[in-house]
Chain A
Amino acid sequence: MSEEFDFDRELDPYVDAIDMGARPNYVGVGEVSYEERIVQNRRPPELAVTDEMIEQDATNPDSWLTYNKGLEEQGFSPANGLTTDNVDQLSREWVLSTDSSGLQTDPIVVPTDPPAMYVTQNNQVVQCLDARTGDTFWRYEYPMPEDPDYEPLPRDRGAVVYGDNVYFGTAVMSMLALNRYTGEPVWETDGLTEEQYRNYPYPWVGYGFAQAPLAYDGKIFAGQSGGDSSPPGWTYALAFDAESGEVMWETNLVPKDQWIGETWRHGNGSAWMTAAYDTETDTLLWNTGNPGPMLNGLVRPGPNQMTAGIVAIDATTGEVKWNDQMVAHDIWDYDGQFTPQIAEMEVDGEATRVVIAPHKTGWAFVYDIETGQLLTRSEPFAKQDGNFLGMHPIGEENGRVFFPGTAGGAEWSPDTYSPRTGLEYIGANDAGHKAWMELGWEYGVEATTGGGTDVPPGLGEDVFHEAYVRAVDPASGKVVWEHQLPDVNPEWGMWRMWTGGTTATAGGLVFHGSSGGDLIALDDESGDRLWRDDTGGRITASPVTWLDPDVGKQYVSVASDDEIVTYSADVSGDG
């Protein structure tokens, strides 16, 4: 594979714009005119987002400034206007319909009057909205290349605000800064490294930025995505200068010297979800994706460092501090799929910064951030069955059903840790698939491709899929309670049924959006359902919530298929 990139061959006009000397700027390259790309209706209130605001995001009930709220990515809001007593007062405030299905974005909310909301769409649109009404301040559409050979990664999980800009990573692996008051491009930087340009097979189909970036200390952090259906490649985590877009560091997630020969070239290992940032140790905690090829381990002997796990990276230098593979030499697509949560745990009598990672295998791993040592691993929060960490049997006739299937006991949807209860709330999938391998070197896997909507017949008549919200005590490892999601059809295949993420609040609530379309509120101590509404579309992302003190309301917003559905309740007399 991987020939040296031939700069003399005839290039697509889009790629022709690439200047290896200076990182390229794609703005203006696409065929969509500037006027069509930006629609400006109104200007949102100005408020430069500072490091101090980001540090206080986790304790500010009025904001949602980073992907899973706060640098610790706890997914927890201190908003306490909505409580177990009044959550049933929630009603729909507004709905934004988009031209992009399967939205995966977690909205960002800046606490101005009115609050400004930023959402991204899979079709590479960024919108700035009035968070009270859903009215569009401005809308920006990224100029995608017209090359039919270049199929971009059609996912986007969100943006981040910092200073006077909003940042989002594109499906063609560039990082883009937009003026967050006007939607006008400020800078764009190519996120493919020079070594990737020289070694990746062209076109680089399937590589892009899918995650919401993280912003702090003058930097924008993002990991590359790609791998499962991409041509062979390997990935980096990067830091960009927030002002200039200059790449400050790039960290290879597939260390060549820990792979055999040239196998690193298809190592993948992408840090494809948003990192958590521990300011006390200046450490970024990132997931790492599956090794490549995804299911055939023979062509990549060894543990396949640093894939299918977690990596701690020095935020200033990009140096790898430590990493751990939850599944070394992964052959089941049990990659690291999480945005981790940073919390405090008492270890040997001392308060210790820990990172909690609910993993696809159905276990939550808890590490000491400073040492990288595994402190504990929870009991299974999702169904495990069928020798799921065993080799695939040979021959279709011997195919085995095992749980979790490749969709995982938990998917990428960000989960939540509540410092109020000390519990991790996880969107959990009891879903499996049947797999085998052929000595002709092909894996046969039912329900891992194509997004089938039914449980495959091969799984057997008595096999059903169920989804839950499960509360796990990270310290004891115990599953404290579970709530089954009734709107998830047990006959759905695992790619249809896996459920969304969770959001806990100081009001004693856990919000969850499910694959069946329900947005629900649970009691954080018992798991009892207190409120639900059918949003009308599948939910894969996590809800966000904020207080708007100027109008005395608490809002809850979630992406549901092609809509942003937002609820509110008057809480002026509460909290």
Chain B
Amino acid sequence: MAYENRQHVTDEQRRDFLKALGVGGAVATGATLADVRHAVSGESATEELAPVGQAIRSNLGGQLDSGVIRSRETELVGALEALPALAESGVGEEPGDDFARIAAAGRPLYDHFAEVGFFEATSDNLPAFTYDYLTESVSAFVGSEVTAEPLSKVGLTEQEAVDLVASVVTDADQLRHNHWVVSPDISREDVEDAAALPPLTKGAMGGAMLWLEDLDAKLWRWQTMLTDGALADAEWHARSMAAGFQLVNEGAKAIADESAALSDGELGAILSTGFAMQALAQSLLPQDVYWITEEMRDERRTDLEMVTTEF
């Protein structure tokens, strides 16, 4: 089931995104990912990212299990296909498990990644997620048909796929404000209990899974406060996390297969974009769904009454 066609970035953000990729007015608002790909030249960006992909591939040679990765992909796609349009269906009378099923599909893969040092290898070699780096990564990502193709598996329309990658660029500053700094740049002496600090990519994927595991119960528990817009945001951010998951999965699969399915540059692009999507979505999800201010909340119930006693 395709996720309903809803705009998740503003027209201005979309223009900023296209401008950042250097396509200016060549592509009209409402463009598809294919339209962007045809207008952008990602070749040089891909070349820039080649050392990143090469280093990660080199670090992980022979350690990733292709079978584990492929089996999880099927589960993930199945869980995404079953995801209801929350804003339309509302929250059920009992807590659901729609989002937790996405996390469950990913958990064995996450464990496998942790076991073989995938997160350390990616965190050590990915540059800091600055605006410039993410723009470069997304440019390379959309410029290659083979890297962008996995987005079609997560139930996004073409336009929504553009929204998703656009947000990686236009919301890049969000990552900065959320302290998403590449692990080696973190000043250990200033971080309490630095030994327990998870690698950046582990935090991105692991954190996304934890939010997904929590989300069903939260939506059910807080439904009295959540507007349709908050439910739509919850679904969008969850799907963004899953999309990021799918991209990382594709990257890992290419490494495990030891094939040339992805070039080194494409590998760097798909992993950077995928992890950034996960990091970004888990930064935005609490802001839009969990940290509900008075202005954001649904109307208060009026049918409640305290039971009082005469003394």
A420 to B176 alpha-carbon distance, docked (Å): 51
Given B203, B214, B307, B309, which contacts A260 in the complex, CB threshold below 8 Å? B203
A376 touching B307, Cβ below 8 Å: no
A266 at the interface (CB under 8 A from B): yes
B221 touching A373, Cβ below 8 Å: yes
A380 at the interface (CB under 8 A from B): yes
A376 touching B300, Cβ below 8 Å: yes
Tell me whether A299 and B192 are in contact in the complex, defined as CB-CB below 8 angstroms, given that A374-B225, A394-B176 are known contacts. yes
Q: Which residues of B contact A477 (CB under 8 A)?
A: 300
Chain A 287-317 per-residue mask, 1 if CB under 8 angstroms from chain B, else 0: 0000011001111011101000000000000
Closest chain A CB from B159 CB (angstroms)? 29
Q: Which residues of B contact A232 (CB under 8 A)?
A: 192-193, 196
A23 at the interface (CB under 8 A from B): no
Chain B 199-239 per-residue mask, 1 if CB under 8 angstroms from chain A, else 0: 00011101101110110001011111100000000000000
Given B190, B192, B294, B307, which contacts A379 in the complex, CB threshold below 8 Å? B294
A422 touching B179, Cβ below 8 Å: no
A390 to B195 alpha-carbon distance, docked (Å): 28
Closest chain B CB from A442 CB (angstroms)? 5
- Residue in A292, A394, A475 whose Cβ sees the most chain B Cβ within 10 Å: A475
B286 at the interface (CB under 8 A from A): yes
Number of interface residues of B (CB under 8 A): 55
Tell me the chain B residues, 219-274 only, with Cβ under 8 Å from chain A. 220-225
A347 touching B222, Cβ below 8 Å: no
Closest chain A CB from B218 CB (angstroms)? 7
Closest chain A CB from B289 CB (angstroms)? 9
Tell me the chain B residues, 257-311 only, with Cβ under 8 Å from chain A. 282, 286-287, 290-291, 293-294, 297, 300-311
> What is the chain A residue whose CB lies nearest that of B203?
A301
Closest chain A CB from B172 CB (angstroms)? 14
Tell me whether A394 and B177 are in contact in the complex, defined as CB-CB below 8 angstroms, given that A389-B293, A442-B190 are known contacts. yes
> What is the chain B residue whose CB lies nearest that of A390?
B287
Given B179, B221, B222, which contacts A296 in the complex, CB threshold below 8 Å? B179
A1 touching B221, Cβ below 8 Å: no
A377 touching B308, Cβ below 8 Å: no
Given B198, B305, B311, which contacts A261 in the complex, CB threshold below 8 Å? B198
Chain A 434-470 per-residue mask, 1 if CB under 8 angstroms from chain B, else 0: 0001011110000000000000000000000000000
> What is the chain B residue whose CB lies nearest that of A324?
B221
Q: Which residues of A contact B210 (CB under 8 A)?
A: 258-260, 301-303, 305
Given A260, A324, A377, which contacts B206 in the complex, CB threshold below 8 Å? A260
> What is the chain A residue whose CB lies nearest that of B303?
A348
Closest chain B CB from A179 CB (angstroms)? 36
Tell me the chain A residues, 333-366 only, with Cβ under 8 Å from chain B. 343-348, 351, 366
Q: Which residues of B contact A104 (CB under 8 A)?
A: none
Q: Which residues of A contact B293 (CB under 8 A)?
A: 384, 389
B179 touching A298, Cβ below 8 Å: yes
Q: Which residues of B contact A78 (CB under 8 A)?
A: 311
B304 touching A374, Cβ below 8 Å: no
Tell me whether A437 and B304 are in contact in the complex, defined as CB-CB below 8 angstroms, given that A266-B193, A299-B196 are known contacts. no
Number of interface residues of A (CB under 8 A): 66
Q: Which residues of A contact B297 (CB under 8 A)?
A: 377
Q: Which residues of B contact A265 (CB under 8 A)?
A: 193, 196
Q: Which residues of B contact A303 (CB under 8 A)?
A: 210-211, 214, 286, 290
Given A1, A305, A346, which contacts B304 in the complex, CB threshold below 8 Å? A346
A390 to B190 alpha-carbon distance, docked (Å): 22
Tell me whether A261 and B192 are in contact in the complex, defined as CB-CB below 8 angstroms, given that A305-B214, A375-B301, A475-B306 are known contacts. no
B187 at the interface (CB under 8 A from A): yes
Given B286, B294, B300, B311, which contacts A328 in the complex, CB threshold below 8 Å? B286
B26 at the interface (CB under 8 A from A): no
Chain A 395-436 per-residue mask, 1 if CB under 8 angstroms from chain B, else 0: 000000000000000000000000111110000000000000
A298 touching B180, Cβ below 8 Å: yes
B63 at the interface (CB under 8 A from A): no
A344 touching B181, Cβ below 8 Å: no
A80 touching B211, Cβ below 8 Å: no
A260 touching B179, Cβ below 8 Å: no
Tell me the chain A residues, 470-499 only, with Cβ under 8 Å from chain B. 473-477
A329 at the interface (CB under 8 A from B): yes
A1 touching B191, Cβ below 8 Å: no
Closest chain A CB from B294 CB (angstroms)? 7
- Residue in A298, A343, A376, A422 whose Cβ sees the most chain B Cβ within 10 Å: A298
> What is the chain B residue whose CB lies nearest that of A507?
B311
Given A258, A324, A389, A475, which contacts B291 in the complex, CB threshold below 8 Å? A389
Q: Which residues of B contact A390 (CB under 8 A)?
A: 287
Q: Which residues of A contact B307 (CB under 8 A)?
A: 343-346, 351, 419, 422
> What is the chain B residue whose CB lies nearest that of A265?
B196
A374 touching B305, Cβ below 8 Å: no
A81 to B192 alpha-carbon distance, docked (Å): 54
A305 to B210 alpha-carbon distance, docked (Å): 9
A302 touching B291, Cβ below 8 Å: no
A372 at the interface (CB under 8 A from B): yes
A557 to B106 alpha-carbon distance, docked (Å): 57
Given B222, B294, B306, which contacts A474 in the complex, CB threshold below 8 Å? B306
Closest chain B CB from A203 CB (angstroms)? 16
B291 touching A374, Cβ below 8 Å: no
Given A2, A296, A301, which contacts B198 in the complex, CB threshold below 8 Å? A301
Tell me the chain A residues, 5-63 only, with Cβ under 8 Å from chain B. none
B197 touching A299, Cβ below 8 Å: yes
- Residue in B180, B190, B222, B307 whose Cβ sees the most chain A Cβ within 10 Å: B307
A520 at the interface (CB under 8 A from B): no
B304 touching A375, Cβ below 8 Å: yes
Q: Which residues of A contact B304 (CB under 8 A)?
A: 345-347, 366, 375-376, 475-476
A506 at the interface (CB under 8 A from B): yes
Closest chain B CB from A102 CB (angstroms)? 26
> What is the chain A residue whose CB lies nearest that of B215?
A303
A419 touching B308, Cβ below 8 Å: yes
B202 touching A473, Cβ below 8 Å: no
Q: Which residues of A contact B309 (CB under 8 A)?
A: 419-420
14 A–B contacts, CB within 8 A, in A order: A258-B210, A262-B195, A263-B198, A302-B214, A303-B210, A344-B306, A345-B307, A347-B303, A374-B224, A376-B224, A422-B305, A439-B181, A441-B190, A476-B302
Given contacts A441-B186, A473-B306, 12 further A-B contacts (CB under 8 A): A1-B196, A266-B196, A297-B179, A302-B206, A303-B211, A327-B291, A328-B214, A328-B218, A373-B220, A389-B293, A422-B305, A476-B302
Q: Which 8 A-B pairs have the closest CB atoms?
A: A301-B207, A302-B210, A422-B306, A506-B311, A441-B190, A298-B179, A344-B307, A232-B193
Q: Which residues of B contact A (CB under 8 A)?
A: 114, 176-181, 186-187, 190-198, 202-204, 206-207, 209-211, 213-214, 218, 220-225, 282, 286-287, 290-291, 293-294, 297, 300-311
Q: Which residues of A contact B (CB under 8 A)?
A: 1-2, 78, 80, 232, 258-263, 265-266, 292-293, 296-299, 301-303, 305, 324-325, 327-329, 343-348, 351, 366, 372-377, 379-380, 384, 389-391, 393-394, 419-423, 437, 439-442, 473-477, 506
